[in-house]
Amino acid sequence: MTDLATRVAAVPRSRPGRVAPALLGYAAVRVLGLVVLAVWSAARDKSAYTLLTARWDSLWYTRVAELGYGYEVRLANGDVHSNLAFFPLLPWLERLLHAVSPLSYADAGFVVSAVVSFAAAWGIFAVADHLYGARAGVCAVLLWAVLPVGIVQSMAYSESLFTALAAWSLYAVLTGRWVTAGALALLAGLTRPVGLAVVAAVWTAAVVSFVQERRELRELREFVRERHECVRERREDTPVARPWPRLAGMLLAPLGAAGYVLWVGHRTGAGPLGYLEVQAGWRNGFDGGYAFARFIAGQFTAFPSALAGVGLIVGVALLILLYVVCVRQRQPLPLLVYAGLVTALALCASSYFGSKPRLLLPAFPLLLPLALALARLRTARVAALVGAVAVASAVYGAFWLNGSGPP
- Got the DSSP string for 357-373? HHHTTT-GGGGHHHHHH
Number of Cβ atoms within 10 Å of the Cβ of 262: 14
The reported pLDDT for the residue numbered 97 is 97
The reported pLDDT for the residue numbered 297 is 86
Of 116, 122, 121, the closest CA to residue 94 belongs to 116
The reported pLDDT for the residue numbered 78 is 84
Q: List, for residues 295-310, the tens digit of each pLDDT value.
A: 888 888 877 778 888 8
The reported pLDDT for the residue numbered 288 is 83
Q: List, for residues 316-364, the tens digit of each pLDDT value.
A: 999 999 999 999 999 999 999 999 999 999 999 887 777 889 999 999 9
Tell me the three state secondary structure of residue 77: coil
List, as one string, the DSSP characters of 212-274. HHHHHHHHHHHHHHH-GGGHHHHHHHS----HHHHHHHHHHTTHHHHHHHHHHHHHHTSGGGH
**Rounded to whole angstroms, how far apart are CA atoms 141 and 156?**
20
**Rounded to whole angstroms, how far apart are CA atoms 401 and 407?**
7
The reported pLDDT for the residue numbered 8 is 41
Residue 65 and residue 86 in contact, taking contact as beta carbons nearer than 8 Å: no
Q: Which segments in the chain show pLDDT lower than 50?
A: 1-12, 230-239
**Rounded to whole angstroms, how far apart are CA atoms 93 and 310?**
41
Tell me the three state secondary structure of residue 95: helix
Cα Rg of the chain, angstroms = 23
The reported pLDDT for the residue numbered 224 is 61
